[in-house]
Structure 1
């Protein structure tokens, strides 16, 4: 008993207990994560069999850039932990597989071999590697259930710096840009917020709640359906475009007027 009491009073005893406690917590957490992976993948895929098929598709079409086990390479990032939502966003918008390397992958038509089933299967495989955001359900992206007014406030506070007030997009640095949101589906908008593709930051559920995300979707889809009562919207890019058009049109009118006046004076003389 004396030996145990002496050990407990040793200056390093508290650190040993702390390290032991942290190790136990880590092992318990790892056990739960490993146990939850098949179920997590099944939720993302709809059936566990999609994981195996997804790996086969991944090895065939994606491993040349992302590595055989999605560990990443010098030219492409790791996909461990990005979740099925990232796969669905990147592939459904045609950004992946990427045709040419560049500062940013543009939106384009899906590759000929890609369809919804294959996207789901690859997403299930990637989800099984380390979890991550899953593809949202229909209720999560239903704009009819959102508050467009509240969504507008949130969009103006978090998004217009890059995407413009109407989601028309804009230029960033080093050849990157915030894309136009007019072609994005509600599901893709939600996925972009939770995965943060390319230059976009991640807006997780602690930053913007699922209900607030749905309201932002309601605002984005409502704004792009509005008409431009003043005439031609000029892409809704903003005052820079409007000023440029006014400047060029105004100078053109003044130049034509000057030519017309001088031509009249020459005829009289």
Structure 2
């Protein structure tokens, strides 16, 4: 069976739209329609990114941000899945703590971020905690919802056939929740990066968040936008990997 994927026509349209946008941007700056000081221009962004890559400058800072992002992503994902399963299989616990989860999720992270810096310092830990606080709730609510949406007829039939609690978790609940979990992972990887960058932006001496904050203080729009493009490229690569991983486990999805 042929796997679903992006058709060649869609890829061509995406490429044309991207090229058209960049050409219009470059032409608008060149003709004076928009001010280079505020939005830079693609040719300058290309030269800036190339210089960063050749000198190795971007890799040193990107490695720091990637470490914070991946640690926060993994920790937040594991905690979200574990607590989601806990709530699903212990309804009394869910009823007690559900309002608390809703309230904690409603807290604006940008406002709480300075507290994380105050509590955990300017080092790695505060950035990881910031990323975890964003990833955890996305994965938790998706896992919890996925487990609650399991077809009760399938559960009852499995029990009639002699399935134990362990069998139900392995063959019924986990396959049902996998679709929800993978969907949340592709969303939460971006949130993990946001958490790491915001933490660096508030207080750090290295990392892409620091690079962007320093460039902003120098009113250097080229470096600011180049830094943002680097982060966008990282998320695109991570999302591609998660999509391939989801396709690999697609046989677990209920038909």
**TM-score normalised to structure 2 length:** 0.24
Point out the structure with max Rg over C-alpha.
Answer: 1
**TM-score normalised to structure 1 length:** 0.23
More helix per residue: 1 or 2?
Answer: 2
Q: Which has the higher contact order (CA 8 A, sep 6+)?
A: 2
